[in-house]
Amino acid sequence: MITLPVYKEFDTAQKLAKVLAAKIAGQLQEAIDARGKAALVVSGGSTPLMLFSELSRQAIDWQDVYITLADERWVSPEHADSNERLVREHLLVRRAAKAKFRGLKNIYSVVDEGVGMTEEVLSNLPRPFDVVVLGMGNDGHTASLFPCSEQLQLGLTTGRTCLAVHPTTAPHGRLSLSLKAILDSKQIYLHLHGDPKREVLRQVLTSDDATEMPIRAVLNQRHTPVDVYWSQAS
Ligand SMILES: O=C(O)[C@H](O)[C@@H](O)[C@H](O)[C@H](O)COP(=O)(O)O
């Protein structure tokens, strides 16, 4: 059994996005005031689009904010499935256009070859990350820590920042932050939409077996606070 310390529900995705964006912006600005810079890690997928749009309108010192991704599909940044493309189109606009984005995809065509270069890029970001926003798949994956992949155990145990992942149930080779890197943060938000995800979350909380549902490893720890934000899909 896992117990959630903070769980917030909203009746629309828009209301959730407004509240969460304001909260994240406040935490980023606090970090900037304290150490001159802040680091934000966001996820891809369909859930964060409204959040990105709300975040991009926040009036903070975006030029001092480093942004990266929790995971990336190993495709070119112009590809329809690229998380970098999503971030460039929906988050790095308006006020947030001044933020410093560090993408995970690089010149290597195979993710296993590119992982070292991305590790190097990530080593130059402010740590711990100030805010990490995660999504969750219906199989309980988060970032690209997939229950189906041979690399899951590595992702849950490695001391490195990132790893190459080859899911069998989702397209593309992926690069994912490791569990250790995700937890090396001051605040994690798990951002969910719709009834099916609420049902998956219910299943997640019934056990602590992270090999079955990797999101459990993020929720079942005491190092970093994880606040869960759920809304109806509309
Ligand atoms: O690149 C990705 O696919 C992700 O970062 C992934 O972990 C995502 O957050 C979940 O799969 C939820 O995806 P949806 O928001 O599309 O449901």
Task: Enter the ipTM.
Answer: 0.96
pLDDT of residue 71: 98
Say what percent of the chain tops pLDDT 90.
97
Domains contained in the chain, CATH given:
6-231 (3.40.50.1360)
Cβ of 143 closer than 6 Å to ligand 1, yes or no, is: yes
Beta bridge partners of 231: 10, 193
Judging by DSSP bridges, how do beta strands 100-101 and 71-73 pair with one another? unpaired
Beta bridge partners of 38: 65
Q: Which of 16, 47, 91, 179, when mutated, tests ligand 1's pocket best, judged by the most ligand atoms within 8 Å of its CB?
A: 47
Which ligand 1 atom is at minimum distance from the Cα of 73? 1
What average pLDDT does this structure show over 91-96? 98
pLDDT band at 5; cut points 50, 70, 90: confident
Q: Tokens standing for 79?
A: 């590809």
Q: What is the pLDDT of residues 23-48, one digit of tens each?
A: 999 999 999 999 999 999 999 999 99
73 contacts: CB under 8 Å, gap ≥ 6: 44, 79, 81, 82, 83, 171, 172, 173, 174
Cβ of 151 closer than 6 Å to ligand 1, yes or no, is: no
DSSP state of 226: E
Is 70 exceeded by the pLDDT of residue 234? no
To the nearest whole number, what is the mean pLDDT of the chain? Answer: 97
Ligand 1: distance of its center to the CA of 94 in Å?
Answer: 24
Ligand 1: distance of its center to the CA of 34 in Å?
Answer: 31
Ligand 1: distance of its center to the CA of 192 in Å?
Answer: 10
pTM over 0.95: yes
Angle of the 83-90 helix axis to the 49-56 helix axis, nearest 10: 40
| Whole-number Cα distances in Å, 216 to 14, 90, 219 | 27, 29, 5
Q: What is the pLDDT of residues 185-217, one digit of tens each?
A: 999 999 999 999 999 999 999 999 999 999 999
Ligand 1: distance of its center to the CA of 148 in Å?
Answer: 15
Q: What is the pLDDT of residues 133-153, one digit of tens each?
A: 999 999 999 999 999 999 999
Which ligand 1 atom is at minimum distance from the Cα of 83? 1
Contact 80, 143 (CB under 8 A): no
